[in-house]
Each structure stands twice: as structure tokens, then as C-alpha cells.
Structure 1
Amino acid sequence: MAVKIRLKRTGMKKAPSYRVVIADARSPRDGRIIENIGWYNPRVEPSAIHIDEEKALGWLRNGAQPTESVTSLLKRAGILDRFTQEKAAAKAAPAEQA
């Protein structure tokens, strides 16, 4: 099962707001989700992003693939940088032991 981290649209007509969710790649955009990990409101200045860092990192470690829009949100929140640092450290650790 391919799991994606993506945006689920909420809010009124012409006033979008989004939830950052974990969902099966085959489910529709606003369909069934596995877990809600945060929200994004592009209508305020500056745009508001709130993502649970521990949940997001846990799902990234388990292989969930973020969409392009969520990737940019994770970069802006600093979560993707932390994930890449963890990955680099984990890759370097076995090389040091050998």
C-alpha cells in the first residue's frame, strides 16, 4: 500500500484551508484518511503552517511519500531538513563501525 502525505481541502467556497493528512495514494483527495498531522492556512499573511513534527517524522521514516506541495510546507517548517539530517547520520553510523 502506497502511503502519501498530502493536503485535504477544507473551508468554505473560495476560502480554502487545508489539513495535512496521511492517506492511501489510491483514495480521493478529500476521502478516507489514515491520520491528520496538521493544517495549513494560505489565506493569512504570512501563511500559517502547523504540522506535528514527531508524527510527520515517524511517517517519513516509515516510507510515506509527501506530495510536491507538502514537501514545500515541510521545508518551510524545517521538518524535511531534520529528516534528511537523520538519514545522513544513520547512513554514516554503519560506515564508521566498519
Structure 2
Amino acid sequence: MVESFIEQYPAIQVALRDPRIKKAMDRDSKCEDFVDTMKVLYTSTIAVSSDKSATAGQILPILDKLKTKFEVKDDDSAFKRAIKEKVWADLSHPYSVCT
């Protein structure tokens, strides 16, 4: 699923910037919330996977950034809140020893 998203990410970005599509999406911004929330995860994945062997010096700052990004805020929609909670639960579980 994530691979499909990564493949489609450029098309999603273009679609989100198209005023005709954006106007229709203003009524329901779930797609926009999803892309905004997951963008940092995509960027982090690319950064880590570009090296053959990532070190703790690379991983720990990325995890801190992810933790900040996936903290639930008061103004988050229910959809965005659910994404953040699920993603952070999945990310933090294997790394609970490090944090």
C-alpha cells in the first residue's frame, strides 16, 4: 500500500494543486489531510533508504521529527487524528527501547 502511494505521490501532488480538483476537494479534505500527514513519513523513508546501513545518528533525529509530526493537536480533524494515532502507534512500538 505504501509503495503504491509512493508511486502515485507525484500525481497526487499535481492533483492537489489543480484549482478545479481542489475546489471539489474543499468539501472533503481527507485526501489533503492524508497527504499532509504522510509526507514526512515518505521523506523520512527516502532519507533512510538512501544509505546502505543507517546509523542511530540518522535514525534518532528522524524519529524525534516523526514523533513531533504525529502528535495529535486540538485542531486536527477526526480523520487526521486517527491517522496520526495509528501511524505513531505502529512507529513507536518497535522503537520503544530507544525512546
TM-score, normalised on structure 2? 0.30
Q: Which structure has the highest helix share of the two?
A: 2
Q: Which structure has the highest strand share of the two?
A: 1
TM-score, normalised on structure 1? 0.30
